[in-house]
Structure 1
Amino acid sequence: MIMLKKYLSIVLFLYAISISFSQEKEINPPYHIKTISFVQNGQNAIPLFQLGDSFQLQFDDLHGTEDNYYYKIMHCDYDWKQSQLSINEYLTGFDNQRIQDYTNSLNALQIYSHYRIPFPNKLTQLKVSGNYVISILNEDQEVVFSRKFIIYEPLVSVPMQVKRARNVKDVEYKHNIDFAVKSNAITFQSPLKNVKVLLMQNGKFNNAISDIKPMYTIGNDLIYKYDSETQFWAGNEYLFFENKNIRAANNSIARIDTEGGLYNCFLYTSNARAKNPYTYWPDINGNFSIKNISAENDEIEADYAWIYFSLSAPSFYQNKDIFITGMFNNYTLTDENKMEYNAKKGIYEKALMIKQGFTNFNYTVADKSGKIDEAIAIDGNFYQTENNYFAIIYYRENNQRYDRVIGKGVATSTDIIN
């Protein structure tokens, strides 16, 4: 009996360790939580901010009952596992605070409560750079949803260049990222081990490239000039719909009605573009803008509408899952965003409730396990596609207890070279 108790104690101890050091993943929100976004200078922003800068996390609750929500912040290492830092080492102030800034919707058919969390605020200020996860909790201290964000210090310069792929078979379809890390403020210790990089395309986490070591060093400069390790599928320009005037059809919306009590916007059927020549189509790289042209305060006066998507795609996609994705839903591959095949019409369909404005979206193909297959993207891959790329630089000195983010680099493929 004593041996059994010891065995159970060991098992529970190891389980607790595995939980505490497991990788933090974003928790998707329930149906009634919509339009989660990081906002800086009044614009939706990729969650990458300089230490000390102001930004907000905003979201809507369709219950519209001014429910009480709380926020908790966790500091993570490069691999999104909880860091060794205690709360008072990465926060000034308090954690687990109730969100006090919220307002009910106005002049909207769909009622909702709009919540804002500014950073820094009088109760919470971030002290160090690094990866963070913010969790929103309900009154029962259950996690409603969580989001990743990154805080950096401007201690290095990161010159970047987008190039066409070196491999002939990929030259028409991929972007290759060359970059370097240079600093007068830091003398790197063991850079092959202590310096880490995260490469992101348009700010997405789901296809980011990690664990890239410097190819070589020149003095204190770290050089990254790989052929395949830093390549992204180029994709195609994002599609969009615009319903700033929610009552009017336009060149992206075929018709509108109000059956069911809310506005229903039926988009024109999209055709798969993979086999078509590349066509320049200005986009905002997956972002969205909340706007009601008849309102003074878009945050609470923009309405929600059912957006009816339809897609005509080749039959071989029927063995895959197709999702509608963009920054408006954090590119999540959930049942809520998965399209359904209408055999009678021969098209894929889905209706999503989205806040009015201007919204970029695309169709993402994944297998049944949820792995994204960019090689067979519905809209194809074209080296001419305009994408923004980010290189985020992490550094942990010898004997340091956490991964600092010491800088970022930004490049656009509009400046692509051979």
Structure 2
Amino acid sequence: MSLRIWFCLCVLIPTTFCAVAQVTETPPPSSIKTIIFKGGTNVSQLPILKLGEPFVLEFDALTGIEPDFYYVIEHFNYDWTPSSLVKSEYLGGFDNQRILDYTNSFNTYQIYSHYTLQIPNQQTRGLLVTGNYLISIWNDDNDLVFSRKFMVYEDLVNVGVAIKRSRDVKYIDRKQSVDIVIDNNNFNFINPLENVKILIIQNNNLTTAIANVKPQYTLGNQLVYKYISETSFWGGNEYRYFENKDVRAANMGVQFIDLKEIYNNYLFVNTSRADQLYTYNPDINGNFLITALDVENVSIEADYTMIHFALQYPELPAGKAIYVYGNFNNYALEPENQLHYNAERGLYECAFRLKQGFYNYIYVVTEADGTLNEGAVSGNFYQTENDYKVLVYYRDLGARYDRLIGVGEGSSVNISN
């Protein structure tokens, strides 16, 4: 039995192991780059789609051999354990199909194939229910190449989101608190303390999302969340950025370039901002945009360059590590984006390939115990402009899966006390 078929059966016929295991995303190998979700008119690296809305998944394979890829879609509960639904209950048509739409790069130093998967398509007619989903991409050898989470919702409740300074005086200058009001005038909640669950996401980063927060109190037809610490995030700082839409010239954030087997872009050396005053600098909250000068189709004509990151920072003790990440790699902590200390230069450095475009990025530190410290290099400031999303899940009595019944959005651009 192939691994891909076993992975499908694991959801179709839950065993004790599958029923309790929480699914995690599989990061792609270094040969797979620029994974982009497009849903409706929006482009986001965390796709939250309305039920019935089509979406597109795109990615590049830098192998130069036009490999075949297949896709599998699974449905999951709020806590990312497999739901009890069988495939035909949440998916119209068939998955486990080969991705047929791909095009080779044109006039680029880095040879790659650009793949496009659109749902619905001739084989997969669409998604039938709301909730959490995982799309997995497999190769011809039945190896899992990568997987990404996405969510499908119904617009059944109104979700109000307001961003406040922390109510904890100790963190008032460094944290942001998310106040939430769920208005269920047109939806009847039964036992909301147990059956309603929310997920709060900052800047599309599931790694730092807050889950399992119960309503603080009920006010008429409203569920209210106004906690002191339970819904608070570190403010962080504005993202750093660079743009290399012209590979032959040093663009914004690029100090100099060098042509080897492909173009190499050396970014300006960054320094710690943790002990500096906050300075507003407009960003796109960790996102990225593929763009290139003098091309008609950036999907296949934008080139790949080797991006060299450098950070002036004291050498960390054993057990700690520094990474650079953002939406460009789905906030993953992988060997490729880990910086290593260069004693001769007194800098932390790393380099990897990225497609031409405008990129936000940030440096983070992992502590010896594995915990993530996003503010160690950049600092935490309550004034930082962050985007927030609040997802509302509901499971009715006797239901077999968690419905996603509402999504709210807010920004700290107008943060208040």
Q: TM-score, normalised by structure 1?
A: 0.94
Aligned residues: 402
Shift of 1:42: 6.9
Q: Secondary structure at the match of 2:200?
A: strand
What pairs with 1:316-395 in structure 2 (closer than 5 Å)? 316=316, 320-368=320-368, 370-374=370-374, 376-395=375-394
What pairs with 1:260-275 in structure 2 (closer than 5 Å)? 261-275=261-275
Q: Distance in 2 between matches of 1:311 and 1:101?
A: 40
Q: Residue in 1 aligned with 2:404?
A: 405
What pairs with 1:39-78 in structure 2 (closer than 5 Å)? 39-40=38-39, 41=41, 43-78=43-78
Answer whether contact 2:389 2:407 (CA < 8 A) is retained.
Answer: yes
Q: Secondary structure at the match of 1:377?
A: helix
Answer whether contact 1:60 1:114 (CA < 8 A) is retained.
Answer: yes
Change beyond 3 A, Cα 1:317–1:385: farther
Shift of 1:364: 1.2
Change beyond 3 A, Cα 1:317–1:298: farther
Q: Distance in 1 between matches of 2:143 and 2:169?
A: 51
User: More strand by proportion, 1 or 2?
Assistant: 2
Q: Distance in 2 between matches of 1:346 and 1:43?
A: 39
Q: Distance in 1 between matches of 2:298 and 2:43?
A: 12
Matched, 1:122 2:98: no
Q: Distance in 2 between matches of 1:268 and 1:196?
A: 44
Unaligned stretches of 5+ residues in structure 1: 1-14
Shift of 1:293: 1.1
Answer whether contact 2:45 2:330 (CA < 8 A) is retained.
Answer: no
Q: TM-score, normalised by structure 2?
A: 0.94
Change beyond 3 A, Cα 1:317–1:36: farther
Identity of aligned residues (%): 49
C-alpha deviations, 1:225-245, integer Å up to 9, x for none?
101000000100000110001
Unaligned stretches of 5+ residues in structure 2: 1-13
Shift of 1:352: 1.2
What pairs with 1:162-173 in structure 2 (closer than 5 Å)? 162-173=163-174
Q: Residue in 2 aligned with 1:229?
A: 230
Q: Distance in 1 between matches of 2:220 and 2:240?
A: 45
Shift of 1:17: 1.6
Q: Residue in 2 aligned with 1:193?
A: 194
Q: Residue in 1 aligned with 2:218?
A: 217
Answer whether contact 2:164 2:177 (CA < 8 A) is retained.
Answer: yes
Q: Residue in 1 aligned with 2:132?
A: 131
Q: Residue in 1 aligned with 2:276?
A: 276
Shift of 1:139: 1.2
Change beyond 3 A, Cα 1:363–1:247: same
Q: Residue in 2 aligned with 1:299?
A: 299
Amino acid in the other structure paired with 2:54: S
Q: Distance in 2 between matches of 1:343 and 1:24?
A: 39
Shift of 1:119: 1.8
C-alpha deviations, 1:349-382, integer Å up to 9, x for none?
00011001101110011124542123x5201001
Q: Distance in 2 between matches of 1:80 and 1:191?
A: 20
RMSD: 1.4
Amino acid in the other structure paired with 1:262: I
Q: Distance in 1 between matches of 2:317 and 2:218?
A: 45
Answer whether contact 2:268 2:310 (CA < 8 A) is retained.
Answer: yes
Answer whether contact 1:104 1:113 (CA < 8 A) is retained.
Answer: yes
Q: Residue in 2 aligned with 1:204?
A: 205
Shift of 1:21: 3.3
Stretch deviating more after TM superposition (61-70 or 205-214): 61-70
Q: Residue in 2 aligned with 1:27?
A: 26
Amino acid in the other structure paired with 2:168: N
Q: Residue in 2 aligned with 1:3?
A: none
Answer whether contact 1:325 1:361 (CA < 8 A) is retained.
Answer: yes
C-alpha deviations, 1:185-242, integer Å up to 9, x for none?
3110010000000000011100000000000112331111101000000100000110
Amino acid in the other structure paired with 2:411: T
Q: Distance in 2 between matches of 1:317 and 1:283?
A: 32
Amino acid in the other structure paired with 2:180: F
Q: Distance in 2 between matches of 1:81 and 1:16?
A: 12
Change beyond 3 A, Cα 1:104–1:80: same
Q: Distance in 2 between matches of 1:386 and 1:313?
A: 25
